Structure 1
Amino acid sequence: MPSPDFDCQPDLYGSTLRLKPLADGDFEGMFQAAADPDIWCGHPARDRYKREVFEAYFASLLATKKALAVIESASGDIVGTSSYYTPPDLPNSIAIGFTFLVRAKWGGNANRELKQLMLEHAFTAYDIVYFHIAPTNIRSQTATMKLGAVHLYDAELKISAAPALAKCYGLTRAQWESASLFA
């Protein structure tokens, strides 16, 4: 369970991105962002770019009341999503995941800004933040390590619909502050 005073759906503002609680009205913008098959190529749900598959995913994100829409400040367009969630094997902790960004935001500063906003918010209540990544999702593993996170263990966890193998990473406040000095 997240800390009772921790807001899993804050409004967060960065230099180029804004994060806001995911709402019903975000579906079309979110689907437009997700409709690129290349976004999902390294992901276990490779067909999530299809409307009928994405509808179920969006509904599941909405139901958690922990998902955030990622909005490009300049255009106002939704460019992705991310969520806070409780790791099933660490019930008094917080994790960040269920993240995707449009390809135009890959390789630049968008993922770092997104995670910076979420991490700094999480570190107001927690000393460590966890990330669970599919073993096949090398791009996300690399991006997570660039933040300063370290691989802690592998486990089979039920994070979404069915148990799946995950590479489990952790990032402490001290590691984040140290990595941020060199960013």
Structure 2
Amino acid sequence: MNALLANFAPMTLELNGVRLEPLGLQHAAGLRAAACDGELWKLRITSVPEPDMVEAYIAAALEMRPGRYAFAVIDTATGAVIGTTSYHDIVPALDRVEIGYTWYARSRQRSYVNTSCKLLLLTHAFDTLGCAVVGFRTDNFNHASQAAIERLGAKKDGVLRHHALRRDGTVRDTVVYSIVRGEWPEIKAHLRYKLSRD
């Protein structure tokens, strides 16, 4: 087995009041509540499940292993599930992973939560898994997501035209970003600095 895949044992990561733990059906009620905070499934540019589809959403994420490792995002102070995120599109031959399938309850958006989660996942990807590159993708009309990815320090690689279906049946263009290993030390220092000021 490739070293990258071998290191994808079930893991829990924690920082700054946020815990990432392997997503499972035990998180369904909490994930449903997070989706209802802002009725996020009504946004055409995201893949947030409707409340009655949360169990199916979790089951689909679990079935995608080993190509996807999904996490529940937990507020450590309250134990509440506040969102989800994943490693996905894992390419061991290239030491490459992507971070995506990310969404948070509306009340937690534009807060320390995303920076904390990305610092956890990027640190684990580069410093533990030994990744050479970490990628990100988002809908071309999801300007908030693009801005959040760019605030991390990721570089825009380009746009995949007519790339994926949205929930409403329209076809989106996908904006692609990445961080390569040589950029990671400076990005890590910057993310830590941002969290120290939040």
Q: Under a length normalisation based on structure 2, what TM-score does the superposition of the two structures give?
A: 0.78
Residues 3, 32 of structure 1: alpha-carbon distance in 2 compared, 3 angstrom cutoff: same
What is the alpha-carbon root mean square deviation over aligned residues? Answer: 3.0
Of 92, 97, 100, 1:97 maps to 100
State the 1:174 CA deviation.
Answer: 3.2
- The superposition leaves residues 39-84 of structure 1 with CA deviations (integer Å, 9 ceiling, x where unpaired) of 34555357x4532343432221232241001100100111110001
The answer (yes or no) to whether the contact 2:123–2:188 under 8 Å persists in 1 is no
Q: Give the equivalent residue in structure 2 for 1:11.
A: 12
Q: Percent identity?
A: 27
Q: Give the equivalent residue in structure 2 for 1:152.
A: 157
Alignment of 1:16-95 (within 5 A): 16-40=17-41, 42-45=43-46, 48=48, 50-65=50-65, 66-86=69-89, 93-95=96-98
State the 1:36 CA deviation.
Answer: 3.3
Residues 130, 159 of structure 1: alpha-carbon distance in 2 compared, 3 angstrom cutoff: farther
Residues 2, 70 of structure 1: alpha-carbon distance in 2 compared, 3 angstrom cutoff: farther
1-side partners of 2:114 and 2:45: how far apart? 20
State the 1:181 CA deviation.
Answer: 3.2
The answer (yes or no) to whether the contact 1:84–1:94 under 8 Å persists in 2 is yes
Count matched residues: 181
The answer (yes or no) to whether the contact 2:41–2:50 under 8 Å persists in 1 is no
Name structure 2 gaps, 5 residues minimum: none
Within the alignment, does 1:134 sit opposite 2:139 as a pair?
yes
State the 1:10 CA deviation.
Answer: 1.6
The answer (yes or no) to whether the contact 1:20–1:68 under 8 Å persists in 2 is yes
Of 178, 181, 186, 1:170 maps to 178
Q: Give the equivalent residue in structure 1 for 2:187.
A: 179
State the 1:5 CA deviation.
Answer: 2.1
Name structure 1 gaps, 5 residues minimum: none
2-side partners of 1:174 and 1:92: how far apart? 14
Give the letter aligned to residue 140 of structure 1.
S
2-side partners of 1:170 and 1:59: how far apart? 28
